[in-house]
Amino acid sequence: MAEAIKFTEEELNQITELRESNGSKISEFGQIELELLLAHQRIEALDNAKENLRTQYVELQDKERTLVQQLNEKYGAGQVDLSSGEFIPVK
């Protein structure tokens, strides 16, 4: 069996420093991956919220068209003055 050789204090310090630096970089990579995951989740949540709002907006447009059609059938073409609550027919 070969005889064990002892490292110098400087060599041990270099090895320790490299191991600590590697551990630190691995931890930093993990933190970046976690931040990327959270960012992707946030983007997905925003995309879902945007799609929901788009759907609601289209539904509101449909309701508006339906109401305008109903009012036109009842009162004819014209404008509504919301402040007075009056309908002004087109001449």
* Global pTM value: 0.64
Interatomic CA distance for residues 38 and 16, integer angstroms: 33
Q: Which tokens is 53 given?
A: 């709002």
Q: Is residue 49 part of a domain?
A: yes
27-68 per-position pLDDT tens digit: 999 999 999 999 999 999 999 999 999 999 999 999 999 999
Q: What are phi and psi of 25, to 5 degrees?
A: -65, -40
2 inside domain? no
For residue 73, the SS3 value is helix
Per the structure, the count of domains in the chain is 1
Domain that holds residue 18: 9-89
Higher-pLDDT residue of 54, 87: 54
pLDDT given at position 80 = 87
Task: Evaluate whether residue 56 is within a structural domain.
Answer: yes
**pLDDT band of 91, cuts 50, 70, 90:** confident
